[in-house]
Amino acid sequence: MDATNDFQQFENLEDEQLPIAKHKLHNWTHFAGIYAAEHVAATEFVIGATFVALGATTKDILLGLLIGNILAVLSWTFITSPIAVDTRLSLYTYLNKIAGDSMTKLYNWANVIIFTVISAAMITVSATAVRFAFNIPPQLNWYPTNSWFVLIVLIVGTVVVSIAIYGFKAVSEFAGICAPWLFVMFTCGAFVLLPALSLEVLGKPLPNGWADFISLGDQSIWTGVNSDGETGIGLTEVIGFAWAANTITHFGLIDMALFRFSKKKIYGLTTSTGMMFGHYVAWISAGIMGAGAAVIIGKSIVELDPGDVAYYALGWSGFIIVIVAGWTTAVANLYRAGLAAQAIFKNHSRKKTTIAVGLVTMIVACFPFVFSQILPLLTYAGLLVVPVGAIVFTEHQIFPRIGYTRYWLHYRQLTVSTPAIVSWALGLVFGFGLNALNVMSFFYLFIPTWIFTIVVYTFLAGRYGAKIKYPEAKEKERLRNINISKFQEQKAEGEQIIIKDTTLFTKILRGISLLVLLITVVLACIVLFGSEDAEMYTQNREVFYKYAFICTVIYFVTAYWALKRGKIKNT
């Protein structure tokens, strides 16, 4: 095949089935915003309580979460991002080139189900906050018991689907607006409720120093004793929990779907906004908020739902944080689910498949059990996809270095990859077998499973044709990629150019949005440092509730207005 200007072969393909065009790549700020918003989610309230129930100590939490989240950032940076930037393809499309149609369809179906359930859980959490605000009874059964709750779920779900169908750009813009506010509110929530804990445990509104804070944490939050009254998890388990929490997206390579838009491989480091500020700060803050809310309400932290915790930490802004945090995670995961579905139904656009998946997601979200089971789902989903990530990593990174041929299955024009299917199956048997035998902590099972699958796939692929050279097919592939680039360049010439509006009014709007965030932090600091006794603390907390909500409203109005004004289409 010659490198010609005949682009008819690409006209009928969806953009999602081709490498991302150069003009559609994004700077690091987009990814920083996406990860910041997605990983400061409503589930952080639950995970904060989980560490309390598991019986971690304060020092283990502070150090273990730091190490574990750094390892997660490095996993995205050195495993996921390089492959995504090299190929400019989502895992769903790239896997088809490596493993053929049969395995790819099975794997994509698994991802559609996984991300549909995750999105549904987040929608349910958001709806729970609305339920709390309108005094709708708690949904304690596996099925809904109130028609108003169902209506709220459908309304919340409609917003999520509406954002997700517009693709990566809409997802990143939505995340970019929400992320700064989520950071501020999670931090402020901890500031506001820390005095309540300190008054209860230490008899004073503020710990005097680091030793006082550790003592407060050990006595009232991370006590080192689990919910059964036994010695809890240690430092290594905390590190493993933080590292393994997102194996589905870094070792499992699901986030190739996001990083294929990245200009540079090093942008994998932008995940630190989600891990260090999101998982690290948010999980610690959630523990403090949960324990503080439990003191005020008079219940155990594990008995509280996100709506309870958020309300007593942030007032009416708490309802908004649960809704928004649920939305940001649901939108990103529904986008992934739509991509996986589009890879299955290639004759339909990603928008159509996202709408279809979104409708199913909204139905599933009506059943409250989906949220209560989200943590086991995430844990097992990670182990399920890690072998597939290992297969792709092996083919892309290891094969060229040992003299094997990358894309050998594609060059042989096969539709079924026996090495890939067998390696995935053996990887699952190996991983879940180690779990059944209780050989090691579940949080670290993904590491030996990943290594085992790499060894098995390398051995089998070598026997099935990876050792053979395919010069003619390789040259044909190279020319096809040249044609794709030329096609995308030609297509880009006819697209509208978007330039940023730098007018004074837009700058003022952005300034106001940042100012109200600063005011919110100042108000929280007044509660934390300006409460001399219990009475003054209560008064300061009520003032914070009132004005923080006003600042929240102003922030979203000005931030969204600035976003809309900040883009001018120049044809």
Region 539-558: what's the mean pLDDT?
92
Q: Pseudo-torsion of CA 338, 341, 345, 346, nearest 10°? A: 60
The Cα angle at residue 143 between residues 139 and 148, in degrees rounded to 5: 55
On average, the pLDDT of the chain sits at: 83
Region 326-353: what's the mean pLDDT?
78
Region 441-455: what's the mean pLDDT?
93
Residue 429: pLDDT band by 50, 70, 90 thresholds? very high
Does residue 569 surpass a pLDDT of 50? no
The proportion of the chain whose per-residue pLDDT surpasses 90, expressed as a percent, equals 29
Region 315-329: what's the mean pLDDT?
78
Does residue 544 surpass a pLDDT of 80? yes
Region 172-187: what's the mean pLDDT?
79
Position 373 scores a pLDDT of 64
Residue 571: pLDDT band by 50, 70, 90 thresholds? very low
Does residue 108 surpass a pLDDT of 60? yes
Does residue 67 surpass a pLDDT of 90? yes
Q: If you write DSSP's letter for every residue of 446-504 in order, what string do you get?
A: HHHHHHHHHHHHHHHHIIIIITS--HHHHHHHHHHHHHHHHHHHHHHHTSPEEEE---H
Region 84-108: what's the mean pLDDT?
86
Residue 57, beta-bridge partner list? 223
pTM of the model as a whole: 0.83
Q: Dump pLDDT digits (tens) for 245-266.
A: 889 889 999 899 889 999 999 9
H/E run at residue 184? helix 168-201
Output b/e per residue, 213-247; b: 16+ Cβ within 10 A: bbebbbebbbbbbeeeeeebbebebbbbbbbbbbb
Asked whether the beta carbons of 216 and 201 are under 8 A apart, the reply is: yes
State how far the Cα of 17 lies from the Cα of 90, in Å rounded to an integer: 8
Between 349 and 142, residue with greater pLDDT: 349
The Cα angle at residue 373 between residues 338 and 230, in degrees rounded to 5: 145
Least confident of 61-70, 211-220, 368-377: 368-377
Region 359-382: what's the mean pLDDT?
75
Q: Dump pLDDT digits (tens) for 262-279.
A: 999 999 999 998 898 878
Q: Dump pLDDT digits (tens) for 4-53.
A: 556 666 666 565 667 887 878 888 988 888 787 777 766 676 677 778 77
Residue 136, C-beta contacts closer than 8 angstroms, at least 6 positions apart: 130, 146, 148, 149, 152
Give the DSSP letter of residue 224. S
Position 570 scores a pLDDT of 41
In angstroms, how far is CA 482 from the centroid of its own chain? Answer: 34
